């Protein structure tokens, strides 16, 4: 395997992040070469509403990442999220082509194709098909059926679909910049690739990606993706509440929200408690707010404004988890990623409302220039790199010992011929 340049682009409601990395045969994980993150414009709830503004912002982000990496971005994986995302679990059944020998890769392709045969609107497109388990002659729980003997092969899959209009708009934005779209990845799934361990997926876990305008949810059970959905509001609603409550601008409210989660605030509160004072005023004079405000009440903002909105958010998340049918199948709890995960009181609200363990996730499995990337808000764009790494490994050629990884990352963004050629390269 030669060195390859891979790229991920996260087009979100609050920010657009671009990450460029190198895959080398000498390293097991991607080496980050370039990174950029700019404020997003023209995107609401994960969907493009002003394509010209989005093109300009993406261009700025891409140019900054290219300068840092010293490489030209020619293709990329792109994150997709928002209320237009829908998912379902589907089953496929086929007869093994040659029951006297063993199950082959061609049989696996056929059974997955059978699972894809679902009724779908002309305005929607399948962006991901993930096998959950295979069943051979009634024996379930099989991850890799290739090489096994049997006459009947079944598969349970998780299928994610997206709005075709939104996919075309994203593709146009990148094509205007001369960038080829390798594939669309659900942002919740991308975040889980970089911030959740295999052990947590086996036990059962829910990944909650709290963005500015939407919240994406992925639930893993028995090591496989089993449910995907999106909530049509996010952390920006908390900012709006602070702006209204304190009568300040949205920019000032965002600064206050981020500042309340910082170590400086904790230090101020600790010093006040040491001084045995009942005051809870927080000094915000250094934030450079346009309004004539130097202090805010910690209790008023956190307990009176942020906490009620967080409770509303996690009550909606809980309703999605209950609707999935996997509410008792996630003993590992919640992993909170995305910029909204940094809001003060988020973990506590998750534990209180959902009633399961919760932690803030950060991206991993990368080397290189990662100091600016290892934060919850970049879990998605980091996950795009890891997805790209799996895909690159498939194209370079793997043996069937790694077949489970291929199936766990099976994507319809690749043509049927490409995948068929992959399997043929394994078969003598």
Domains of the chain, start order: 1-84+162-196+362-428 (3.30.420.40), 198-360 (3.30.420.40)
Q: What is the pLDDT of residue 327?
A: 92
Residues 321-350, buried b or exposed e (16+ Cβ, 10 A)? beebebbebbebbbbbbbbbbbbbbbbebb
In the predicted model, residues of the chain with pLDDT beneath 70 are 1, 266-279, 392-428
What is the three-class DSSP state of 43?
Answer: strand
Helical pair 236-246 and 250-260, crossing angle rounded to 10 deg? 110
Model confidence, pTM: 0.86
Q: What is the pLDDT of residue 76?
A: 94
Q: Chain-wide mean pLDDT for the chain?
A: 87
Q: What is the pLDDT of residue 427?
A: 53
Q: Note the Cα 294 to chain centre separation in Å.
A: 37
Q: Cβ–Cβ contacts within 10 Å for residue 293, how many? A: 15
Q: What is the pLDDT of residue 415?
A: 46
What is the three-class DSSP state of 71?
Answer: coil
């Amino acid at each position: 395997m030669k060195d390859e340049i891979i790229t991920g682009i996260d087009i979100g409601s609050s920010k657009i992040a671009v990450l460029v990395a190198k895959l080398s045969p000498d390293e097991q994980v991607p080496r980050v070469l370039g990174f950029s993150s700019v404020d997003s414009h023209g995107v609401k709830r994960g969907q493009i509403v002003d394509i010209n503004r989005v093109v300009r912002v993406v261009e700025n982000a891409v140019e900054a990442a290219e300068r840092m990496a010293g490489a030209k971005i020619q293709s990329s994986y792109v994150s997709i999220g928002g209320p237009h995302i829908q998912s379902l679990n589907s089953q496929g059944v086929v007869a093994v082509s040659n029951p006297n020998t063993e199950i082959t890769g061609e049989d696996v392709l056929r059974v997955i194709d059978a699972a894809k045969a679902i009724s779908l609107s002309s305005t929607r497109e399948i962006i991901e098909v993930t096998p959950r388990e295979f069943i051979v002659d009634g024996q379930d729980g099989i991850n890799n059926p290739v090489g096994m003997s049997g006459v009947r092969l079944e598969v349970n899959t998780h299928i994610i679909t997206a709005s075709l209009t939104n996919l075309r708009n994203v593709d146009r934005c990148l094509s205007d910049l001369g960038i080829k779209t390798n594939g669309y990845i659900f942002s919740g799934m991308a975040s889980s690739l970089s911030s959740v361990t295999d052990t947590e997926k086996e036990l059962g876990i829910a990944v909650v990606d709290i963005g500015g305008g939407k919240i994406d949810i992925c639930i893993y059970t028995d090591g496989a993706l089993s449910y995907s959905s999106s909530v049509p509001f996010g952390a920006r609603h908390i900012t709006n509440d602070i702006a209204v409550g304190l009568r300040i601008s949205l920019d000032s409210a965002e600064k206050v929200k981020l500042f309340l989660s910082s170590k400086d605030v904790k230090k101020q509160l600790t010093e006040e408690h040491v001084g045995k004072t009942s005051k809870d005023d927080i000094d915000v004079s250094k934030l450079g707010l346009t309004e004539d405000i130097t202090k805010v009440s910690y209790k008023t903002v956190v307990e009176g404004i942020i906490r009620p909105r967080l409770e509303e958010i996690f009550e909606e998340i809980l309703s999605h988890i209950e609707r999935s049918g996997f509410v008792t199948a996630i003993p590992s709890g919640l992993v909170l990623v995305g910029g909204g995960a940094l809001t003060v009181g988020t973990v506590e609200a998750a534990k209180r409302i959902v009633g399961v363990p919760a932690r803030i996730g950060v991206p991993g499995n990368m080397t290189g220039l990662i100091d600016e990337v290892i934060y919850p808000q970049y879990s998605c764009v980091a996950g795009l790199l890891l997805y790209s790494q799996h895909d690159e490994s498939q194209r370079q050629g793997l043996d069937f010992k790694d077949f489970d990884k291929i199936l766990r990352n099976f994507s319809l963004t690749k043509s049927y011929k490409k995948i068929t050629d992959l399997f043929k390269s394994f078969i003598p």
